[in-house]
Amino acid sequence: MPELPDLTIYAENLAKALTGKKVHEVAYHQRGKLNVAEAELSRAVNGAQLTGVERAGKQVAFRFDNGNTLRVHLMLTGGFVLTDSSAMTSLRYPVLTVRFDDGSVLAVTDEKGWANLALNPGDDKDAPDALVLTPEQLEQLCRKKPRALIKPLLLDQALIGGIGNAYADEILWTARISPKSPAGKLPPEAVRDLAAAIPQVLEDAIAELRKRHPDMVAGEYREFLKVHRPELKTSPTGAKILKETVQSKRTYYTEEQRLYQ
């Protein structure tokens, strides 16, 4: 599943390619999930100009000049495709296609059909984004969910926006905190270390992706991760990488990471 660094690069590249273009026609292909009727989506988007694309947690938001917003959650296997009208018939597993006046096309595709599309998804306040989460906010979350293991807490999109399984492991290794530590057992200095590790790991990953895969709008690239890679046997500091399931999530960590209990 794409995570915050991947989605940040997707949004940047989609914004560069599509901002300022006018929608000729949008089509929902009866795959994935759409929160409104197809006709309502068409009324909201057809004829509108795309004014911006941005990441919102683990979603990508498309904003239009008429005030409407379409959010896309790619889920496990979804992706974006930039193409043109002549190639639309060759698209595999289309969920949504947006054709612009200049003939260019944005498609959302998903082999499993799990992608979620949401038009104007409501006024509920999003959880704090991982890139701007403060140490104070993280401490409050740990107090609010003291029995939650720290890895599942980081993954809870209702609490923190953007972190997925792979980067949670990277963050916890950087902070040297065991993924099996209950959140309420973390001392203040560990919470501060964790709060510092979150943006450090994510921003470093964004920089790596910009350098290694500058045009990406789909796919996941993990070749630079330090512990969450199946082929790795040891961490950069030489510790053996342990692999086990923590609350249904495949987890990579080392004994360098302290278990607070």
**Beta carbons within 8 Å of 132's beta carbon, 6+ residues apart:** 199
Q: Are 104 and 153 contained in the same domain?
A: no
220-244 residue pLDDT tens: 999 999 999 999 999 999 999 999 9
Residue 172 confidence (pLDDT): 98
Tens digits of residue pLDDT in 35-67: 999 999 999 999 999 999 999 999 999 999 999
Whole-model pTM over 0.75: yes
CA dist 253 and 244 (Å) reads 9
Q: Are residue 58 and residue 165 in the same domain, yes or no?
A: no
* Residues 151, 98 share a domain: no
Residue 258 counted as domain residue:
no
Q: Whose structure tokens read 């040891």?
A: 234
- Which pLDDT value is given to residue 103? 96
Q: What is the pLDDT of residue 126?
A: 77
32: domain CATH number? 3.20.190.10
Structural domains of the chain, count: 2
Whether 113 and 95 have beta carbons less than 8 Å apart is answered as yes
pLDDT category of residue 123 using cuts at 50, 70 and 90: low
pLDDT band at residue 71 under the 50/70/90 scheme: very high
Domain shared by 93 and 172, yes or no: no
Domain of 246 in residue numbering reads as 135-253
Distance CA 71, CA 248 (A): 27
**Of 65, 85, 119, the domain-final residue:** 119
Boundary of a domain, candidates 60, 93, 119:
119
pLDDT tens for residues 11-29?
A: 999 999 999 999 999 999 9
> Packing angle between helix 188-212 and helix 4-18, nearest 10 degrees?
40
The domain boundary residue, chosen from 119, 148, 179: 119
Note whether residue 85 is domain-resident: yes
Shared domain for 248 and 142, answered yes or no, is yes
